[in-house]
Amino acid sequence: MRDDQNPLVVGRRDLIGGASIGAALGAAGPASARSDRRPAPPGFLWGTAISAYQSEGNNTNSDAWLMENLQPSMFKERSGDACDSYHRYEEDFAIAAALGFNCHRFGIEWARIEPSEGHFSNAELDHYARMLEACRARGLSPMVTLNHFTTPLWFAKRGGFEVGDAPELFARYCSRVIERLGGLIDRVTTFNEANIRLLVDLMP
């Protein structure tokens, strides 16, 4: 069920409206309540972050899409359309800007950029270019995550990152992204939560 069809979920426009009201009330509050506030240092980034796979929806060439559609599945429910941020990203950016943020981190899905080995989609690169342009137009500094746990199905089938040439294949994808989109990106993080493997190893 999409968020605009579920009475228990606050819609994007409702959130923007609520943020505007909250900002107005805060501005009208007593001076004593605001006197303790210190401005953030110059260049400080107040940001939001989102996982591409969990929000875009219908990333059918991803390993996670296969895993969540197998029966039985380790996933409680399928992602399906998710929040449809693939098409509604401008609304998402508007919410972030209305809340006063100046930075937004989102992922670029490898499975969309390279749906089959060695074949890159110019249409998908153009899509992410439009996202980056829309992000910047809202005054949000774009930070991109190149891998947020999911990989293309073809990459997973051949052994994923455990295969010897995996770094070269990942680097090829990264190079293609930066070649096309680098001029629109302010910051890049290669892997989301890159230390998670260490944390898992340390767990009892």
pLDDT(6) > 60 = no
Which of the residues are catalytic?
193
pLDDT: which is higher, 6 or 181: 181
Q: pTM for the full model?
A: 0.80
Give the start-to-end residue ranges of the domains of the chain: 1-38, 40-202
Q: Helix %, strand %, coil % for the chain, to 5?
A: 50, 10, 40
Q: What is the percent of the chain with per-residue pLDDT over 70, rounded to a whole number?
A: 80
In the numeric block, the tokens 């219908």 are attached to 58
Q: Are 142 and 185 in contact (CB under 8 A)?
A: yes
Query: What is the distance between the alpha carbons of residues 83 and 79, in angstroms, rounded to a whole number?
Result: 9
- Tokens, residue 186: 């302010």
Over residues 49-92, the pLDDT tens digits come to 999 999 999 999 999 999 999 888 888 889 999 999 999 999 99
Q: Does domain 40-202 have CATH number 3.20.20.80?
A: yes
Amino acid 17: pLDDT: 53
